[in-house]
Structure 1
Amino acid sequence: MALGHRARAVIGSIAAASALGALMAGCSIDSPQAAEGATPEVEAQAELRALLPGELRGEATRITVGTESGYPPFEYTNEAGRIVGFEIDLFDAASDRLGLKYTFHDTLFDSLLGELYANNVDVIAAAMSDTAERQVDYDFVDYYNDSDAIMVPAGNPGGITTLADLCGLTVAVLTGSTQDEALAGLNVAECQAAPVEVLRFDTDADALAQVQEGNADAELTQWSTGAYNARQVGSGDVFEVANAEVINPSPLGFVFLKGDVELVRAYQAALQSLIDDGTYADILAQHELSAGALERATINGQ
């Protein structure tokens, strides 16, 4: 159970054995979840901790963080069953700066906003795009700029280079993602004569597998995840990113329930402090993601 929007409880430590169950949707594991490699050491700052809601300043207090641990390089589960990745390192650092501990709730991407709305989690860290539609009910602390990637088999046998090239083809996608919405919009705007057949899956890995298995001509995903998979899967000769142009650029952010003003501002200030002292740049460089760096930590893109 999460700490809730206004009435937050204290969550005890999770046994080490629970971490091994992180691959199962809906389980929770304890933080910190540092990624492999040397991550910068971050000290708490009293003036930033003072920005937290009063009930979160107790030493034993934890918040619950919703994630979906199948989306490298942002978050994924390593061989030891620990959730690691760029966004996890960054959220760890921001939380350390606030002196705030947390527990993960690992579940399906498509259920995360509902879990936050129901107060089952207090924040989402899941490479979620900051969109105007989502801002109606949620607030974003933006930490990265990304765009979309069209994933195809290595060699790009279909000659796909643009979104319009997907008309009449079968394309796999993560259910509930902005890429899912983009394909729906593409069918209305450009593919009415030959609609895209959209195959939706609970994880990005399952969607990408359809391309390898020949069930889909392409997958639409985020650029950073697509580029990571193109490098990492096999010997880097299984997939490639088909598009050279930027598609659907948008910021990604940590997601909070609309109205949780103190917690939002605390994380914005913590993230800005990491930008200012160079920790943010170090974490980006460690994950080879410097191209998407932000100069300012914004709320809802403002």
Structure 2
Amino acid sequence: MALGHRVRGHRARAVTGSIAALAALGGLLTGCATDSAESAENTAVEVRPELRALLPGELRAESARIAVGTESGYPPFEYTNEAGRIVGFEIDLFDAASKRLGLKYNFVDMPWDSLVDELYASNVDVVAAAMSDTPERQADSDFVDYYNDSDAIMVPAGNPEGIKNLKDLCGRPVAVLGGTNPNDYTSQQTALLALNEKECQANPITITPFGTDAEALEQVQAGTADAELTQWSTGAYNAKQVGSGDIFQVANTEIINPTPLGFRFLKGDVEMVRAYQAAVQSIIDDGTYAEILAKHDLSVGALDKATVNGQ
């Protein structure tokens, strides 16, 4: 399939410093993280020369290294552990795919609303931040999809407001990871805005975006928001892990807004996209992908094929 008509330029690849000072919430594992490629724990993935040959020429040099933008406050995809290392499902997956390609990298931790700007500015080469692959984002980006997820409505344990579905959010204050610039909207923020244009038009949701998921979820605990809309995998993780598992719960029992997640590249970065698609497919085929999913209790969203832009 076509990945865009612009030929990938031989742009300089630079690693920016960490600019994140992430909020901590109870037992939620977030914080300022290092930008080291030593974060992941996979060691048994071998380089495949035929896949390495798919990389752009300058990235086949032994000294080559790429910068990977992430936001480390989003467990179980990426978060900072007690040792200050960025860990998680997506970290392990990106590490395995990169080792298959024989490509070194550094993670660069930053707030959500900086990720896309840093990608556009070529300060990072790819974003790995549990980003939803949507038609709107495909206008200027290409995604290598690696997982299927849906949305979760996070509420206090016991669900005192009796929230069960998206329509129940009408007229309520709701927190969400996102930004004030449309380029920084998450798919959850976009979903809330769409509700205000339709089902909640007469009684709109008061939507407040935050730079990290932890900050958004903290509003629910503090009582300044009745709910938070987040990705299901992250919501389910936090419901179990924060405190003793008795602070939050996922309110919805029905699947809402199912969407693939993917590594995000600039439109036209054809060689990188093809290389990472092939690498992810390779670790799907040899069982490494299934092992990583099982390690993080995420097998429910497994893909059979590593797709580009959902196709």
2:187 counterpart of 1:195: no
Give runs of ≥4 in structure 1 deviating > 4 Å: 25-28
Q: Deviations over 1:82-116 (max 9, x none)?
A: 11100000000000000000011111111211111
State the distance in 2 between where 1:293 and 1:152 align.
26
How far off is 1:81 after superposition?
1.3
How far off is 1:214 after superposition?
0.5
Aligned-partner SS, 2:254: coil
State the distance in 2 between where 1:246 and 1:77 align.
28
* 1:197-276 matches, cutoff 5 A: 197-276=206-285
How far off is 1:238 after superposition?
0.5
Tell me the TM-score normalised to structure 1 length. Answer: 0.92
* 1:49-198 matches, cutoff 5 A: 49-175=52-178, 176-198=185-207
State the distance in 2 between where 1:10 and 1:121 align.
7
State the distance in 1 between where 2:261 and 2:77 align.
11
Distance 1:5 1:102, change over 3 A: farther
Tell me which amino acid in the other structure corresponds to 1:59.
E
2:27 counterpart of 1:24: no
Q: Is this contact kept in 1: 2:14–2:67, CA < 8 A?
A: no
2:11 counterpart of 1:7: yes
How far off is 1:199 after superposition?
1.4
Q: Deviations over 1:131-183 (max 9, x none)?
A: 00000000000000000000000011111111000001110001121111110
Q: Deviations over 1:24-74 (max 9, x none)?
A: 379862203115xxx461011101000000000001110000000110000
How far off is 1:5 after superposition?
5.0
Tell me which amino acid in the other structure corresponds to 1:67.
T
Aligned-partner SS, 1:120: coil
Q: Is this contact kept in 1: 2:33–2:72, CA < 8 A?
A: no
Which residue does the alignment assign to 1:33?
Answer: 39
Aligned-partner SS, 1:63: strand
Q: Deviations over 1:255-298 (max 9, x none)?
A: 00000000100000000000000000000000000000000000
2:288 counterpart of 1:279: yes
RMSD: 1.9
How far off is 1:198 after superposition?
0.8
Q: Is this contact kept in 2: 1:272–1:297, CA < 8 A?
A: yes
Identity of aligned residues (%): 69
Q: Is this contact kept in 1: 2:33–2:85, CA < 8 A?
A: no
Tell me the TM-score normalised to structure 2 length. Answer: 0.89
State the distance in 2 between where 1:82 and 1:167 align.
39
State the distance in 1 between where 2:56 and 2:237 align.
37
State the distance in 1 between where 2:10 and 2:58 align.
9
Which residue does the alignment assign to 1:292?
Answer: 301
Tell me which amino acid in the other structure corresponds to 1:162.
N
Q: Deviations over 1:212-242 (max 9, x none)?
A: 0110000000000000000000111100000
Q: Is this contact kept in 1: 2:280–2:306, CA < 8 A?
A: yes
Distance 1:285 1:5, change over 3 A: farther
Q: Is this contact kept in 2: 1:22–1:29, CA < 8 A?
A: no
Q: Is this contact kept in 1: 2:149–2:258, CA < 8 A?
A: yes
Q: Is this contact kept in 1: 2:33–2:84, CA < 8 A?
A: no
Unmatched 5+ stretches in structure 2: 1-7, 23-31, 179-184
Which residue does the alignment assign to 2:29?
Answer: none
Distance 1:54 1:136, change over 3 A: same
State the distance in 1 between where 2:268 and 2:44 align.
31
Tell me which amino acid in the other structure corresponds to 1:290.
S
Distance 1:27 1:205, change over 3 A: closer
